Amino acid sequence: MELLAVAGVILVVAAATIAPRLGVSTPLLLVALGFGVAQLPFVQPVVVDPEWVLAGVLPPLLYSAAVSTPVMEFRRDLRLISTFSVLLVLATSAAIAWLAIVLVPGLPLGIGLALGAIISPTDAVATSIVRKAGVSTRLVTVLEGESMLNDASALVLLRSAVAAVGVSISIWQLTWQFVWAVAAALAIGWTAAQVNLFVRRWIKQVPANVALSLVMPFIAFLPAEQVGASGLVAAVAAGLVTGYGAPARMGAEERIAERAVWRTIELLLESAVFLLVGLELPALTADLGDTQVLGHPIVLALLAGATVIAVRTVFVTAAVRLLAYRNRRAEKYLKHLGRLQAKLAHGELPKLSEAGASKRPALGLISSKPERISRWKRLVTRRIADLDYLASEQFDWRDGMILVWAGMRGAVTIAAAQSLPAATTHRSLLVLTATLVAVGTLAIQGLTLRPLAHRLGITGNEAESDPELWRALQGELDLAALQSLPLPDQEAPTELLTKVRERLKQTAEGAGRNWFGLKGADADAAWVKFRELRLAAISAQRDRLLTVRGLGGYPSAMLDDALAQLDAQQISIELRQQYD
């Protein structure tokens, strides 16, 4: 077993290194490697326990993906993501169920729906291919959000469909199960994340802090599963809340170390799933026996894959048209919001009749007029930024084609298929069909997605690398740093403050004690004070960055880069303290 684990890691590293040079996706290469290894005479047939994937691999993978998801963009497209995560899953499941019943004589309706639920969800692991195709951040966010949330819809439908075989179950029961699975999971995930952020704020040892993060997905997953909710949605919710709150609650060194550890875990777990898929293929084929569907089981997989793409095309087409209609109406709302901004700038609160289009803020117990105006200003500014973002990043037919073609299946589909009870009618056929659909979409769509994106001229968001926008952001952060400095003669002499101001305008950290033109004890004291002021300035810049993030005026990727820059500067200063 130890030898297999070592060999597996070596194959993972080899695939991750070689795949980009060959121009193929790493998951697909790992499936091929696994299948090739399974053909060796000394390798025993491999059968993976589906619980290992559903309860051991997917929670940390989805949690890690959620932590790095831009929450601002996720919120802006939550309506679209929810539509794909629920309605598209139900429609796809119904279409696959009808197809299976027609092609497989005597197949119960519940088993047909189970097959539909297995094939319908896109896969968060497979979307790593999309991320490398050079498409816009909005496309990636929608696809990742869909793949993180549609597991709940699919797995709840799968449980209900299997339970309904031979037993009647009403649509209301199914609806209640789904609502409970999502609502309870969101509550548990949010609670787990808040406790996580509170506790880790006081853990200063970096290894201990990172170690606690490794069990966070399961702290959210296990209680949710115990109460009949979706553990995967709970892990996603915990990841989103943790990722958004970490910069304000955790230190720079802890966050950087955690990010590096989780990237390694992602690589190993993602790769292990696809490697095991390839290893299992021979065993699944042998287990099929004499079951035939129109002469060959591949036919069912091909027709199911074509049905999935057809249903997805209908939904994406409708979604793109609806988004275009909303963007056309946005101009009217922007004018309305501009009038509200003008009133707020003059110290006037908007009337209730004017608040409809901008959604009134929750003022709580706020009674003072300045605080109410401040809340309104933040709300209106964020709403304008949302509309500007949706207008500048609106989807057209080319983006729609990418949304359709990027809907690949993967580990969730394969693991869900293997979770079918052993006594399930035509179980081997269903498992192999689902596996072929997953591998087929990775092979066909995964290999052609990047060329298709280039052919269509789909590129990333230009605003993320806009130098003017970057300079504007840096200007806001520099202003926050300067405002954080004390007045002369209060905590520092005028000469020292002048030096700090000059240093804040430079890009390099540079220099040392001699930079002050002092010697001996005076130089040491000035250097210590300089470091204190510089760290206070970085803290003020980070606070301003988080405030700006809430308003939504800058791309999340740009904000992440600015935060990483501040973190690097802070760690550099803190490391140099150890040697002074």
313 pLDDT above the threshold of 90: yes
Residue 496 makes CB contacts below 8 A (sequence gap 6+) with 516, 526, 529, 530, 533
Region 566-570: mean pLDDT is 87
Give pLDDT, residue 376.
79
Share of the chain above pLDDT 70, in %: 82
Give pLDDT, residue 510.
44
- 362 confidence band (pLDDT: 50, 70, 90): low
Which is more confidently placed, 189 or 485? 189
- 289 confidence band (pLDDT: 50, 70, 90): low
- 498 confidence band (pLDDT: 50, 70, 90): low
pLDDT in tens, 7-38: 888 888 888 888 878 777 777 788 888 888 88
DSSP character string of 483-496: HHSPPBTTTB-HHH
Q: Are the beta carbons of 220 and 238 closer than 8 angstroms?
A: yes
Give pLDDT, residue 314.
95
- 518 confidence band (pLDDT: 50, 70, 90): low
Max avg pLDDT among 279-283, 292-296, 382-386: 382-386
Give pLDDT, residue 509.
42
Give pLDDT, residue 164.
67
- 169 confidence band (pLDDT: 50, 70, 90): low
The model's pTM:
0.81
Q: Cα 527 to the chain's mean position, in Å?
A: 42
Give pLDDT, residue 511.
46
pLDDT in tens, 97-145: 999 888 888 888 888 888 999 999 987 666 667 777 767 788 888 888 8
Select from 3.40.50.1110, 1.10.3080.10, 1.20.1530.20, 3.10.310.30 the CATH code of 2-36+52-288+297-320+394-460: 1.20.1530.20
Q: What residue ranges do the domains of the chain occupy? A: 2-36+52-288+297-320+394-460, 321-392, 465-577
Region 247-270: mean pLDDT is 87
Which is more confidently placed, 443 or 169? 443
Region 325-339: mean pLDDT is 79
Which is more confidently placed, 306 or 326? 306
Give pLDDT, residue 96.
93
Burial tier of 84 (Cβ tally within 10 Å: 0-12, 13-18, 19+): buried
Give pLDDT, residue 393.
78
Region 399-428: mean pLDDT is 82
Which is more confidently placed, 486 or 516? 486
**Least confident residue range of 53-67, 292-306, 449-463, 502-516:** 502-516
Give pLDDT, residue 237.
92
Residue 514 DSSP symbol: G
End-to-end CA distance of the chain: give it in Å, rounded.
Answer: 49
Give pLDDT, residue 44.
76
Burial tier of 10 (Cβ tally within 10 Å: 0-12, 13-18, 19+): exposed
Which candidate, 395, 394, 398, places its Cα nearest to that of 449?
A: 398
Q: CA–CA distance from 465 to each of 33, 435, 558 (Å)?
A: 38, 40, 7
- 54 confidence band (pLDDT: 50, 70, 90): confident
- 309 confidence band (pLDDT: 50, 70, 90): very high
Give pLDDT, residue 524.
65
**What is the C-alpha separation between 127 and 259, in angstroms, rounded?**
19
Give pLDDT, residue 294.
44
Q: What is the mean pLDDT of the chain?
A: 80
Give pLDDT, residue 507.
39
